[in-house]
Chains A and B, each alone.
Chain A
Amino acid sequence: MKEEKKFISIDIFLGVFCAVFAVIFLVQALQFPGQVGFFPSLVLAFMLFFSLITLGIGVYKTVQTRKGNADYANPEMKRFPFIVLATIVIYVFCMQKIGFFVSTAVFLPCEMLLFGQRKVLPIVISTAIVLVFLYFVFVMQLNIYMPDGLLF
Chain B
Amino acid sequence: MEIIISSLQTVFTFEVLIAMLIGVLFGMVVGALPGFTGTMGVALLLPITIGMEPIPALSMLVCLYTASTYGGSITAILIHTPGTAASAATADDGYALTLQGRGMQAIGMSTVTSCIGGFLSGIALIFISPWLAKCSLLFGPGEYFFVALFGLSVIASLCTGGVVKGLLSACLGLFVACIGIDTITSYARFTYGFNGLGAGLGLVPTLIGLFSISQVMIMAENDVDANKDGIVSKAISKLKGTVFIPLVEWKNYIIPVLRSYIIGLFVGILPGAGGDIGSWIAYNTGKQQSKHPEEYGKGSLEGIACSETANNSVCGGALVPLLTLGVPGSATAAVILGGFTMHGLIPGNDLFTVQAHMTYPIMIAFALSNFLMAAIGLLAARYFAKVTIIPISILAPCIIVFATLGSYAVQYNMVDVWAMVIFGAIGYFMRKNGMATAPIVLALVLGPMAEGRLLQSTIAARSTPLLLYFMSRPICVVVFFLIIISIGVPVYQNFRAKRKTKAAGSDTVEAEE
Contacts and interface: CB of A to CB of B under 8 A. Distances in A.
Q: Do A and B come from one complex?
A: yes
Interface of A: 10-11, 14, 18, 22, 25, 28-29, 32-40, 42-44, 46-47, 50-51, 53-54, 57, 75, 77-78, 80-81, 83-85, 88-89, 91-92, 95-96, 100, 104, 107-108, 111-112, 115-117, 122-123, 126, 130, 134, 137-138, 141-147
Q: Nearest 10 CB-CB pairs, A to B? A: A111-B397, A117-B393, A115-B393, A47-B171, A142-B51, A81-B217, A39-B451, A50-B168, A43-B174, A40-B178
Contacts of A126: 394, 398
A51 B217 CA distance: 25
A19 B418 CA distance: 25
Contact of B397 (A36, A42, A115): A115
23 contacts: A11-B433, A22-B171, A29-B189, A32-B189, A35-B184, A36-B189, A43-B178, A44-B171, A54-B165, A75-B432, A81-B221, A84-B396, A88-B400, A92-B404, A92-B418, A95-B404, A95-B417, A111-B397, A115-B397, A117-B394, A138-B405, A141-B51, A146-B405
Contact of A147 (B396, B401, B408, B434): B408
Contacts of B226: none
Nearest to B425: A85
Interface string B389-428: 0011110111011001100110010100110010011001
B512 to A, nearest CB: 15
B394 A112 contact: yes
Contacts of A95: 404, 414, 417
B458 interface: yes
B167 interface: yes
B404 A46 contact: no
B9 interface: no
B182 interface: yes
A39 B454 contact: yes
A37 B175 CA distance: 11
B108 to A, nearest CB: 33
A81 to B, nearest CB: 4
A50 to B, nearest CB: 4
Contacts of B135: none
Interface string B63-103: 00000000000000000000000000000000000000000
B48 A137 contact: yes
B385 interface: no
B216 interface: yes
B185 interface: yes
Contacts of A57: 162, 164
A116 B418 CA distance: 26
A144 B51 contact: yes
Given A53-B164, A80-B220, A144 B397 contact: no
Contacts of B50: 142, 144
Interface string B357-381: 0000000000000000000000000
B187 interface: yes
B398 A130 contact: yes
Contacts of B213: 88
Interface in B163-189: 164-165, 167-168, 171-172, 174-175, 178, 182, 184-185, 187, 189
B253 interface: no
B185 A107 contact: no
A112 B397 contact: yes
Contacts of A134: 401, 405
Interface string B203-217: 000000000010011
A128 to B, nearest CB: 12
A57 B392 CA distance: 37
B469 interface: no
Contacts of A35: 184-185, 455, 458
Contacts of B432: 75, 77
A37 B171 CA distance: 15
A116 B401 contact: no
B190 interface: yes
A18 B168 contact: yes
Contacts of B221: 78, 80-81
Q: Which of B216, B392, B393, B400 has the most CB of A within 10 A?
A: B393
A141 B174 CA distance: 36
Contacts of B236: none
Contact of B168 (A28, A47, A142): A47
A57 B218 CA distance: 25
A26 to B, nearest CB: 10
Given A10-B433, A54-B168, A147 B394 contact: no
B216 A84 contact: yes
